[in-house]
Structure 1
Amino acid sequence: MRTYLLSFALIAISAAACQNSGDKSASANAGQSPVDPHIQSAQNVDSSTFTKIEWLDNDRDFGKVNEGQKVEVTFRFKNTGDNPLIIYSVSPGCGCTAAEPPKEPILPGKEGLIKGSFDSNGRPGTNNKSIFVKANTLGGMDHTLRFKVEVQGTKQ
């Protein structure tokens, strides 16, 4: 019974952490790469096509913003390997954050961007957000991008 109550409490906390589910259509479509939306796991990827990625931005702090402001985020990266870099999916951690992958593979030596946005409406206080990226990279296909923003609430 104790385990059941603890599990229920964790689910309730997770649901409360990001109550805005209205952005689902935008964030759900944003996580799909136009390159190959069917590849979702390492089992389906030919490891001979793997390459290297260097994150130029992977942890950002946007400081203070006023509640209701939309924060645009970008994460820069460089393909430091020998094969084209393919971002298979970009998945925001919750519905208040949206993100989109690059539209084309990034050639060796070139840089790319992952663009996102955060809707601060109804989210006063410190917000630590994550965007999960899956790519054809050596050493692991999964990458986590993080950003922080302090939302100053409006007084009623």
Structure 2
Amino acid sequence: MKKTAILVFLLFLGSFISAQSITFSQDQIDYGTIKKNSDGNQIFKFTNTGDKPLIISNVKSSCDCSVPSWTRTPILPGKSGEINVKYNTKNLGKFSKSIEVFSNDPKISRKLLKIKGEVQ
């Protein structure tokens, strides 16, 4: 009887512990030195390492010079998605920008990604 009660308790507790979880392959991309008007696209890849669907609700850039787009459908457990960032390479000079990712991950509901480089 005691073992059954412990097992029921652990199963009950496990239902609260399980959740969606976002894991990025990298949280910063260095463009290096790139030429003016070159391709400014880079991709941040992520995986749902949890056991419930992951939803990216919004992605914001720190400026209008970098435009993010992302996987808008729920990411099932074990599956991957992408956040594409297009930096405007018409602007000369060094840059360091942040991309803010909002998701339903209970531990990391807001993740900050960074891009940097120099346009010559």
* 1:48 shift after superposition: 8.5
* 1:103 shift after superposition: 2.4
Structure-1 separation of matches of 2:88 and 2:80 = 27
2:101 to 128, 133, 138: 133
Structure 1: gaps (5+ residues): 1-46
Structure-2 separation of matches of 1:76 and 1:61 = 15
Structure-2 separation of matches of 1:147 and 1:125 = 14
Partner SS for 1:94: coil
Partner SS for 1:67: coil
Aligned to 1:98: 67
Instruction: Determine which structure has the larger strand proportion and give its number.
Output: 2
2:29 to 48, 54, 60: 60
Structure-2 separation of matches of 1:102 and 1:70 = 21
Aligned to 1:4: none
Q: Does 1:144 align with 2:115?
A: no
Q: Deviations over 1:13-50 (max 9, x none)?
A: xxxxxxxxxxxxxxxxxxxxxxxxxxxxxxxxxx9995
Computed over aligned residues only, the root mean square deviation of the Cα atoms, in angstroms, reads: 1.8
Q: Deviations over 1:43-86 (max 9, x none)?
A: xxxx9995111110211111111122241011001100011010
1:119 to 85, 88, 94: 88
Structure 2: gaps (5+ residues): 1-15
- Aligned pair count? 105
Counterpart amino acid of 1:56? Answer: S
Aligned to 1:84: 53
Preserved CA contact (<8 Å) 2:18 2:50 = no
Structure-2 separation of matches of 1:95 and 1:48 = 38
Larger radius of gyration: 2
Preserved CA contact (<8 Å) 2:98 2:115 = yes
